[in-house]
Amino acid sequence: MSTRITQDPYMELETQICFALYSTTHALTRAYRSILEPLDLTYLQYIVMMVLWEQDGQTVKEIGQRLHLDSGTLTPLLKRLEASKLLRRQRASSDERQVNINLTDEGKALYERARSVPTQVLRATGQTVEQLMTLKDDLVALRNNLEGVDAEDAGPESVQAARA
């Protein structure tokens, strides 16, 4: 027999924004998985490719900053994309620590096949473009607020650095 412990509605799972975000992200990732399967891309590989389709020839650091991914997560993704012949990784001659990422012809050609992905995702959500853009804006504002809280918790120097 189960026993209810909490009487506080704010301690119930269904009232938690973190759970709503987690479960929605999980559902959205599943939707992307079936949409991206014909392209032979995972969701993370797809967003890396999106960044490169917007601007080819970026460094690993630039891609990581844009996607909020650290190099420990990004490097294996880039290696798999390189093994799939979609991009090339090359150390910069001016600074051996810097790795430049360039799309191959195959990576550029994949763009045309991927152009239908946003429409397919929109259809899968059952939402309008306007609803999704409002949601995206709200989520970006939430992320920015949360990142600001982290900086404030670290002290005044971090706040100034984060705002610079």
Which pairing describes strands 87-91 and 99-103: parallel, antiparallel, or unpaired? antiparallel
Q: What's the confidence (pLDDT) of residue 15?
A: 92
Q: For strands 87-91 and 58-59, give the pairing.
A: unpaired
What pLDDT does residue 153 have? 52
pLDDT the model gives residue 97? 81
The DSSP bridge partners found for residue 91 are 99
In this prediction, residue 152 carries a pLDDT of: 46
Decide: helix, strand or coil at residue 59: strand
CB–CB of 89/101 below 8 Å? yes
Distance CA 39, CA 45 (A): 10
pLDDT of residue 128: 97
Predicted TM-score (pTM) of the model is 0.82
The pLDDT value given to residue 149: 65
Which residues, in sequence order, are CB contacts of 57 under 8 Å at separation 6+?
A: 100, 101, 102
Residue by residue, pLDDT tens for the chain (164 residues) are 888 888 888 899 999 999 999 999 999 999 999 999 999 999 999 999 999 999 999 999 999 999 999 989 999 999 999 999 999 999 877 887 889 999 999 999 999 999 999 999 999 999 999 999 999 999 999 999 998 865 445 444 443 444 44
E runs forming strands in the chain: 58-59, 87-91, 99-103
CA-to-CA distance for 14 and 28, rounded, in angstroms?
Answer: 18
